[in-house]
Amino acid sequence: MTRKSSPSRSSPRKPGGRSASSDTSLSAVKPATLEIYDTTLRDGAQAEDVSFSAEDKVRVAQQLDGLGVQFIEGGWPGANPKDIEFFRMIKTVPLQTATVVAFGATRKSSNAVQKDLNIRALLEAETAIITLFGKTWSLHVTDALGISLAKNLEIIGDSVAHLRSKGRRVFYDAEHFFDGYKANPDYALETIRQAVAAGAERVILCDTNGGTMPWEIKEICQVVRRECPVPLGIHAHNDCEMAVANSLVAIETGVVQVQGTINGIGERCGNANLCSIIPNLELKMKRPVLRDRLNQLKQVSGFVTEIANLMPNTHQPYVGDSAFAHKGGVHIHAVLKNPVTYEHVIPVLVGNRQRMLVSDAAGRSGLLEKVEAYGIKLDKGDAKVRELIDTLKERENEGYQFEAAEGSFELLMRKAMGTHRPSFQLLGFRVIVEKKQDHGPSSSEATVMVKVGHVIEHAAAVGAGPVNALDHALRKALEKFYPQLREVKLLDYKVRVLSANRGTESKVRVLIESGDHKDKWGTVGVSENIMEASWQALADSIEYKLLAKNE
């Protein structure tokens, strides 16, 4: 049975109501330390056209850790084998700033909490923190779960209590909270009380359908802050294009944890976009959250876009390539005199750059930082810097992206600097794909001819597909000269169509991830011919592995 609020609590009310305490000014709320909770690997992975492998998730988690987020929601270990594998793998990866969190549901109504498979999977993920979601909207309790309101309260309480008894910290996601509060405020608040009484240390208010307006968020969050004794979080979806605004409004009321995804990817219309929320917090609201790492934001945004195999949103605020691009003559003339005339923040603060679409005059400082990261010292006025900028522009215009292809970027840089000595020269390759029956398997064979020093080597190999066959043939030709290549494994292979309007003539970008026993690196190739693009990425992968030998 629903327990009434105690007399000491202010009475809950639906939006539009008014009480003496509701007039508290937001400016009177004492700022608390904010927490960034990233759910790219779980909620973001639910976006249409997005699929992360377990290895992808580990790479993204490392980027998020480097960015400085506090919590990384790795997935739902009870939902699929891929997430189970991620939690197994991430245990061996040292993280500097972030805590990995497992996500899952309260127990099923028909199960005892000790025997619930979902609860068991959450514990087996062995994370210090578990985020548990439960129903707060009475409509979902009766219509979706088909149980009584009292039974739902019992499920929330004993699920949280059981996880706490096993030594886990628990964050409670109050699913559909705002819709639930508007429909039945007493019951929605009671679900939260049950979670807190059982040991939840954070309560996250979820706008799961993404239909709540900012003024509703403000009013309801103010009520819940008075009712809830533990810190609150906000988890907003973007179905009304309000997720970022709703998150910031919630923070203004005193919410301390903001959940979202990189680039706002997520189910339906997406989640609150951390690439907008974070710079708004730091630069507009003066609430630092990334420990002076804001300038890495664009790089992480691009990395996630590439790993998710999505087309970049060039017009995305702060981190999009067009965010600080100027095309109109009047704009360019003014910006060259004073950037403040058409730029609301300094682009470099978020890792972006000013661009003049008529005559691009920016980019040297950012490029010099990248070059120096590889141990190469150059003066800003060095002609080689201009040459490298021009080369990068040309390659990017052709469709190359280097955010997740650090191996190809380093090779490109060293070639422009004149410090790279190729390990081999391609004389030619040929790939044959044969299929004899409609329902039979296809076969692939590749031949490669390369020159190493003065020696010409010719090798052939078969593979599971044309790229696999080409990879085998190249290794076969080179391993006698470079036995260390036996350590190299192709870990991932992605293809993106860059100009779909040309149909099967479209240009494609191939991204390859390779690794050995101690390192991983990405390489990229672009061409209208998928095998040519694959060759570029494969050849770069080999050259990158052999860099240490040549220097």
Is 18 part of any domain?
A: no
Helix/strand/coil for 97: coil
What average pLDDT does the segment 226-255 reach?
Answer: 97
165 with 63, same domain: the answer is yes
Using alpha carbons, select from 292, 287, 77, 246 the residue that is nearest to residue 168.
77
In a domain, 380, yes or no: no
202/340 same-domain check: no
**Residue 550 confidence (pLDDT) above 60:** no
Q: How far apart are CA 367 and CA 392, in angstroms?
A: 10
Residue 403 in contact with residue 302, Cβ under 8 Å? yes
Classify 455 as helix, strand or coil: strand
Q: Are residues 255 and 112 in the same domain?
A: yes
Residue 221, domain member (yes or no)? yes
One-letter identity of residue 348: V
Q: What stretch of H or E contains 478? A: helix 466-478
Lowest mean pLDDT across 311-315, 344-348, 501-505 = 501-505
| Cα angle: 172, vertex 177, 178; to 5 degrees | 145
Residue 358 has pLDDT above 70, yes or no: no
Please give the C-alpha separations between residue 236 and each of 186, 241, 268, 298, in angstroms, as whole numbers.
Answer: 22, 10, 12, 22
Please indicate, yes or no, whether residues 532 and 479 belong to a single structural domain of this protein.
yes
Give the chain's domain count. Answer: 3
Residue burial 339-372, b: 16+ Cβ < 10 Å; e: rest = beeeeebebbebbbbbbeeeeeebbbebbbebbe
| Contacts of 369 by beta carbon, 8 Å cutoff, 6+ apart | none
Judgement on whether residues 204 and 260 belong to the same structural domain of the protein = yes
Range of the domain at 501: 425-550
Residue 11 lies in a domain: no
* Residue 374: Cβ within 10 Å count: 13
Residue 48, in any domain of the structure: yes
CB 423 within 8 A of CB 546: yes
Q: From CA 300, how far away is CA 404, in angstroms rounded?
A: 9
207 and 296, same domain (yes or no): yes
Q: Are residues 82 and 229 in the same domain?
A: yes
Alpha-carbon distance of 216 to 221, in angstroms, equals: 8
Encode pLDDT of 384-440 as tens digits. 777 777 787 788 888 888 877 888 988 988 888 788 889 999 999 999 999 887 877
- Give the three-class secondary structure for 5: coil
Mean pLDDT of the chain: 88
CA–CA distance, 23 with 223 (Å, rounded to integer): 11
Quote the pLDDT of residue 5.
37
In whole angstroms, what is the distance from residue 431 CA to residue 448 CA? Answer: 9
CATH number at residue 477: 3.30.160.270
Q: Are residues 245 and 331 in the same domain?
A: no
Over 90: is that where the pLDDT of 361 sits?
no
Residue 231 shares a structural domain with residue 340: no
Instruction: Summarize pLDDT for 280-328 with one digit per residue, the tens.
Output: 999 999 999 998 999 999 999 999 998 998 888 989 999 998 899 886 6
Comparing CA positions, the residue from 514, 483, 296 lying closest to residue 411 is 514
| Distance separating alpha carbons of residues 546 and 506, to the nearest angstrom | 32
The Cα–Cα gap between 205 and 175 comes to 7
Do 469 and 493 touch, CB atoms closer than 8 A? no
CA separation (Å) from 44 to 91, 175, 237, 260, 265?
Answer: 21, 17, 11, 8, 5
> Over 70: is that where the pLDDT of 153 sits?
yes
Residues 291 and 340 in one domain: no
Report the C-alpha gap between 541 and 487 in whole angstroms: 12
Say yes or no: 172 and 70 in one domain: yes
Residue pair 84/121 in contact by the 8 Å Cβ criterion = yes
**Which structure tokens are listed for 509?**
């970008």
Rg over CA atoms, the chain: 27
Tell me whether residue 3 is in a domain: no
404 in any annotated domain: no
**Burial of 444 (C-beta count, 10 Å sphere; 0-12/13-18/19+):** buried
Q: Which residues of 494-513 are buried (b: 16+ CB within 10 A; e: fewer)?
A: bebebeeeeeeeebbbbbbb
Q: Fill in the DSSP letter of residue 349.
A: G
342: domain CATH number? Answer: 4.10.430.20
Same domain for 334 and 201:
no
- For the record, the structure tokens of 289 come out as 């959250």
Residues 436-481 have pLDDT tens digits of 878 778 899 999 999 999 999 999 999 989 999 999 999 999 999 9
By the 8 A CB rule, do 134 and 173 touch?
Answer: yes
CATH (domain of 64): 3.20.20.70
Answer yes or no: is 370 within a domain. no
Mean pLDDT is lowest, of 182-191, 395-404, 530-539, for 395-404
pLDDT category of residue 25 using cuts at 50, 70 and 90: very low
